[in-house]
Amino acid sequence: MHRGGLLAHEQRLADRAVRAALGHEPAVRGHSAWMDAAFTSAAGIPTVVFGPDGAGAHAVEEWVDLASVRDCAEVLLATATAFCA
């Protein structure tokens, strides 16, 4: 079993981005599925998977919470704006 990825406290870009854009702490949790992030993490590149809430990935009953899609878009826009400023 892979130990998963851990980011140092000072590398918690997603946490800071969510706090800045939405004004609250992000929900941080593990996920047991394989993702492309395994490649960058294995190469020693700090990696985070960020996205909306939902369930049933790749199944008949797959769904996503639309409010969380809006929140993700706000965080990504604020992050890109800050990065490009």
Quote the pLDDT of residue 61.
94
Which has more confidence, 32 or 8? 32
CATH number, domain of 44, equals: 1.10.150
The yes-or-no verdict on residue 21 having pLDDT over 50 is yes
Is residue 4 in some structural domain? no
What value does the mean pLDDT take over residues 33-53? 85
What is the tally of structural domains in the chain? 1
Q: 15: domain range?
A: 9-84
**Residue 3 domain-assigned (yes or no):** no
Task: Provide the whole-model pTM.
Answer: 0.71
SS3 (DSSP) at 64: strand
Asked if residue 75 belongs to a domain, the reply is: yes
Residue 72 CB neighbours (<10 A): 19
Q: What is the structure's pLDDT at 3?
A: 56
